[in-house]
Amino acid sequence: MPELPEVDSYRTGLAKPLIGLEANGGKALWHRASDSNFNLVKGQKIFGLDRRGKYLIINLNTHHIIIHLRMTGRIDITKGETPKYTTVEINFTDGQKLCLVDYRKFGRVWIVKNINKIVGHIGIEPLSKQFTSNKFEEMLEKRTGMMKPLLLNQQFIAGIGNYLADEILFRSSIHPMRKANTLTKVEKKQLHRDIRYIIKKSISYGGTTFLTFRGPEGKKGDFWKQLKIFRKTGEPCPHCKKPVTRIIVGQRSTHICENKQKII
Relative to beta strand 74-78, strand 97-101 is: antiparallel
Same domain, 67 and 163: no
Can you give the pTM of this predicted structure?
0.92
243 is catalytic: no
148 is catalytic: no
What is the number of helices (H) and of strands (E) in the chain? 7, 10
Same domain, 77 and 155: no
Quick one: how far is CA 166 from the chain centroid?
Answer: 14
52 is catalytic: no
DSSP annotation of 75 reads E
Q: Annotate 225-264 with b (16+ C-beta within 10 A) or e (fewer).
A: eebbbbebeeeebeeeeeebbeeebeeeebbbbeebbeee
Which one of the listed residues 51, 54, 74, 97 is annotated catalytic? 54
Q: Which one-letter amino acid corresponds to residue 105? A: K
Range of the structural domain that residue 189 is part of: 133-256
Closest CA to 156 of 166, 146, 170: 146
pLDDT tens digits, one per residue of 98-108: 999 999 999 99
pLDDT given at position 80: 87
What CATH number is associated with residue 44?
3.20.190.10
149 is catalytic: no
140 found inside a domain: yes
pLDDT tens digits, one per residue of 191-245: 999 999 999 999 888 776 544 545 565 556 567 678 999 999 999 999 899 999 9
